[in-house]
Chain A
């Protein structure tokens, strides 16, 4: 359940460390919560120095981990310990080259197979 002002970790090596959600893409009037697989617009709150991404840049990201449990179609519920996102560009390509943490298989059906294939572990 990610909404504007939510702080998220970054699950890739793009250079950013913390993001703050400012908009959920596809939410009418911004009254929707974002779940795993939703794209959000976020601003970088904290970044590693000397990387292409800098603090206070506005970027798009796809949510890969939420503390709110996520119910899969086959009845399995996945709940992580933190909220995290992977930074993508306008076309859906991940900005970083590696993704950290386990990624849910559902991202594959939502057209994020690139992120799933970069993941070290797929749930």
Chain B
């Protein structure tokens, strides 16, 4: 792999952009399983971009370790409102642009398309930050690993009511003692026609 890159550069052959990324990310050594927040989007950057774009009612919910969801999903959930479909899409574009600008590196940039950092997780390579729902515009999710940003239209935000999921506490796991008290002995009432078998 490495020799191919060397000879390629000398001979003027340029590998296709997606391959070039792969060569680089494989050359750059072992990346951490979960990318650092600094690589993709940081909370402060996100808040700044959202205030620049004039997104309404920005709320941040810490759902990381020790929080809700067991911290498996993400560290922070950011919810923002857009006044219309177009505004929601704009918020998404602004965040993506910011994420691409943050990782400015001459190798990772492909003309005409903002290339996004690849997350190495086992054998899979996932493009981050990931956007969902951008065509529809009602609810756009930007997933950048530890921070997930939800940009919703006003009515969608009322409908889904995401604050109530992440602001109330998860019910604690029932302890063994509670289980004992909850299992009450009941007497079986034989409502069928057949008589009960005598023991």
> A residues touching B (Cβ–Cβ < 8 Å)?
73-74, 91-93, 97-98, 105, 108-109, 111-114, 116-123
> B residues touching A (Cβ–Cβ < 8 Å)?
69-70, 72-74, 77, 121-124, 126, 130, 132-133, 135-136, 138-139, 141, 143, 148, 150, 156, 159-162, 165, 170
The complex places the Cα of A93 from the Cα of B77 at a distance, in Å, of 18
A91 → B minimal CB distance (Å): 4
The complex places the Cα of A113 from the Cα of B132 at a distance, in Å, of 8
Known: A91-B133, A98-B165, A114-B141. A122 touches B148 (CB 8 A): no
| A122 lies within 8 A of B161 (CB) | no
State the main secondary structure of chain A at its contact with B.
loop
| Chain A residue, CB-CB nearest to B143 | A113
The 9 closest A-B pairs by CB, nearest first: A91-B136, A122-B72, A122-B73, A113-B141, A73-B122, A113-B143, A111-B132, A97-B160, A113-B132
| A73 lies within 8 A of B135 (CB) | no
- Report which of B121, B126, B141, B159 forms a contact with A117, defined as CB distance below 8 A: B141
In the complex, besides A113-B141, A113-B148, A118-B165, 19 extra interface pairs with C-beta distance below 8 angstroms are A92-B132, A93-B156, A97-B159, A97-B160, A108-B73, A108-B143, A109-B124, A111-B130, A114-B132, A114-B133, A114-B139, A114-B150, A117-B73, A117-B150, A117-B162, A119-B69, A119-B73, A121-B70, A122-B73
Known: A121-B69, A122-B70. A109 touches B136 (CB 8 A): no
Number of A-B contacts (CB under 8 A): 63
| B77 lies within 8 A of A117 (CB) | yes
- Report which of B136, B162, B165 forms a contact with A93, defined as CB distance below 8 A: B136
20 A-B pairs with CB atoms under 8 Å apart are A73-B124, A91-B133, A91-B135, A91-B138, A93-B133, A93-B139, A105-B72, A109-B126, A113-B141, A113-B143, A114-B150, A117-B74, A117-B77, A117-B150, A118-B165, A119-B69, A119-B73, A120-B69, A120-B170, A121-B69
User: Which residues in B have their C-beta under 8 angstroms from that of A121?
Assistant: 69-70, 72
User: Which residues in A have their C-beta under 8 angstroms from that of B70?
Assistant: 121-122
